[in-house]
């Protein structure tokens, strides 16, 4: 699929086309948009600005979100299975019940993110910043790169 601009993405959303699989949106400013329930699987969103966007229930599986800005975005119940989210900013993002299984979150900034009930099985969290994030009820089975003192860290959150 061809590269799209912000205005073209807005038109795509307005046309209620829910399938944008494989779309190229690297570096595009998509901040504060409602992209709820779209199929953006396998999309290239490298360096995209998605801050404060509504991405609830959006399919972002196998998407490339490397160095994307997802600060304060609503990603509740989003599918990010197998996504590349390396070095992305997810400060204050809402990821409640999101599927992040097998996602690569290495060096991601998740400070203050709400990951309550998120599926992080087999996720790569090497050098991810999880300070002040909520991991209550999150499934961390097989996740790599967890802080050594995670049990103590979780105890402080309950």
- What domains, with CATH codes, occur in the chain? 1-158 (2.160.20.80)
**Tokens for 16?**
């209620």
pLDDT at 107 over 60: yes
pLDDT at 63 over 70: yes
Sign of CA dihedral 51, 25, 9, 58: negative
CA distance 138 to 125: 13
Q: What is the pLDDT of residue 134?
A: 96
Cβ atoms 130, 109 nearer than 8 A: no
**Tokens for 64?**
């490339």
Mean pLDDT of 114-123: 98
CA distance 34 to 56: 9
For the segment 23-45, what is each residue's pLDDT rounded down to a tens digit? 888 999 999 998 999 889 999 99
| Pure H helices in the chain | 6-14, 150-157
pLDDT at 153 over 60: no
Mean pLDDT of 16-21: 65
Prediction pTM value: 0.87
pLDDT at 83 over 50: yes
Report, in angstroms and rounded to the nearest whole number, the Rg of the chain calculated over CA atoms.
15
Mean pLDDT of 1-11: 66
Helix (H, G, I), strand (E, B) or coil at 111: coil
CA distance 89 to 139: 21
Q: Calculate the alpha carbon distances from 153 to 89, 114, 133, 147 in Å.
A: 21, 15, 10, 9
């Amino acid at each position: 699929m061809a590269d799209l601009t912000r205005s073209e993405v807005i038109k795509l959303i307005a046309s209620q086309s829910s399938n944008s699989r494989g779309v190229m949106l690297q570096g595009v400013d998509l901040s504060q948009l409602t992209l709820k329930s779209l199929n953006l699987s396998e999309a290239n969103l490298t360096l995209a600005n998605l801050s404060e966007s509504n991405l609830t229930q959006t399919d972002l599986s196998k998407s490339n979100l490397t160095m994307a800005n997802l600060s304060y975005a609503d990603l509740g119940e989003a599918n990010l299975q197998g996504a590349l989210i390396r070095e992305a900013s997810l400060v204050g993002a809402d990821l409640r019940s999101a599927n992040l299984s097998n996602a690569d979150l290495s060096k991601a900034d998740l400070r203050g993110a709400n990951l309550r009930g998120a599926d992080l099985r087999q996720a790569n969290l090497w050098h991810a910043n999880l300070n002040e994030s909520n991991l209550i009820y999150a499934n961390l089975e097989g996740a790599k790169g967890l802080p050594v003192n995670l049990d103590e860290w979780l105890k402080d959150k309950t």
